[in-house]
Amino acid sequence: MGSCCNNDHHFDGASPEYKRALWWVIAINGLMFLIEMGASFQASSQALQADALDFLGDTATYTLSLLVIGRPLRIRNRAALFKATSLMIMGVAVFGMTLYRVIFMQTPEAVTMGSIGALAFTANVISVLILLRFRNGDANVRSVWLCSRNDAIGNIAVMIAALGVWQSNTAWPDLIVASIMAGLFSWSAIQIFRQVSQSNDHACE
């Protein structure tokens, strides 16, 4: 009959603690976008630029996550779909820019890559720790966790790329890491798409 069951029992973010945590993470990501984007141009690093764009995307999508907290499941799932689509677009864009750099290759500055990568890693570890207890939420909440986790992994990859650039004196380590990050963005988008689909399947019409 006309009843609506909702079997999605995941935490939806509707708590003061989670909102405060999200505000802190938004501030950290916004600041790191400004720092890392400037450094990416200075160092001519595609990996740093990819990571900076990720910080920008996270700032925007985390703000969206904050706005839909407590809203109906349908709206929260739409927000998660928007974030997944943004991640997929970002992955394609980073891959395209990396291909461009393959053609017009310029060796990055390894010291700047490594130091900014370490700073970004520290910022993302702080974000991950802030969000750790909220990692098993609904698609909207989990997408925030996935983005922060991916950022920390990406920062480690940037530091490895910096070491590779320094040792090889070529741009290839930077370009390879940028390509891996593009793939990670796309894979995370697929995970979010799947969780939203499963959530929709569990909700009655």
pLDDT computed for residue 24 by the predictor: 92
pLDDT computed for residue 203 by the predictor: 53
pLDDT computed for residue 29 by the predictor: 92
Phi, psi of 90 (to 5 degrees): -65, -40
pLDDT computed for residue 102 by the predictor: 73
Give the CA diameter of the chain: 69
Phi, psi of 7 (to 5 degrees): -90, 10
pTM above 0.85, yes or no: no
Q: What ranges do the domains of the chain cover?
A: 16-202
C-alpha of 29 from chain center: 10
Say if residue 3's pLDDT is above 50: no
**How far does the chain reach from its first CA to its final CA, in angstroms?**
11
Q: How long is the chain?
A: 205
pLDDT, tens digit, 9 for 90 and up, residues 13-62: 667 888 888 899 999 999 999 999 999 888 888 888 888 888 888 888 78
Return the closest-CA partner of residue 58 out of 130, 138, 148, 137.
Answer: 148
pLDDT computed for residue 8 by the predictor: 42
Q: Just give the CATH number of 16-202.
A: 1.20.1510
Q: Nearest 5°: CA angle at 139, between 9 and 130? A: 95
